Chain A
């Protein structure tokens, strides 16, 4: 059974800071790696995904994936108050099931 862990549990950063969120997984056969963002009282919404080792950048957001170390991360450049949310990582392999982590709660202090 896939085990997905996130760190830290919560984080407070000043506006404009670079933020790093971490996710580890247990199944080395995992193929799909997602970050979802959930604002308070709202539905989770996909932020970014990566399917092969390396780095992917979209605007202020960058994903790093290292399958050998069973780790991927999300980096936010120039953090904004609107980035304050619960960030959920998710991992999938064959089939359509995703296993979600328990989340990192991010607060960006203006």
Chain B
């Protein structure tokens, strides 16, 4: 069964704390993505990863960094979180330009 997992599902942090969001997939997809979704703004691409240690900025990379050391695992890091980074974060994976499979999302609140 093709699956994308995300941990944690819910997270509350204080402004200035570091945040680590983790994503895994069991489909051996080369390409993985991090998005954030805010009301009225749709899905905005933060970073795209084409394979291990091959990452590119998306449309809104400022304030975020990523790490991909294994094909099945992709992390999103917020160094010194800000209140405007409160959002729902989705990870996705795909095979080439095919369908993107999304994880269940992480709801992050930065106080």
B44: which A residues are within 8 A, CB to CB? Answer: 100
CB distance from B89 to the nearest CB of A (A): 11
How far apart sit A1 and B100, CA to CA, in the bound complex (Å)?
21
Contact of B43 among A32, A45, A100 (CB under 8 A): A100
CB distance from A74 to the nearest CB of B (A): 16
B4: which A residues are within 8 A, CB to CB? Answer: 43
A-B contact count (CB 8 A): 44
Say whether B102 contacts A44, CB under 8 Å.
yes
- The 0/1 profile, CB within 8 Å of B marked 1, for residues 82-108 of chain A is 000000100010001111111100000
Specify the chain B residue showing the minimal Cβ separation from A45. B102
Cβ of A17 under 8 Å from chain B: no
How far apart sit A103 and B88, CA to CA, in the bound complex (Å)?
16
Tally of chain A residues near chain B (CB < 8 A) = 20
Contact A97/B42 with A43-B105, A46-B99 known, Cβ cut-off 8 Å: no
Say whether B103 contacts A44, CB under 8 Å.
no
Q: A44-B102, A101-B42 are in contact. List 5 more A-B contacts (CB 8 A).
A: A43-B90, A46-B99, A96-B50, A96-B96, A100-B42
Contact A92/B97 with A97-B45, A103-B42 known, Cβ cut-off 8 Å: yes
How far apart sit A1 and B40, CA to CA, in the bound complex (Å)?
19
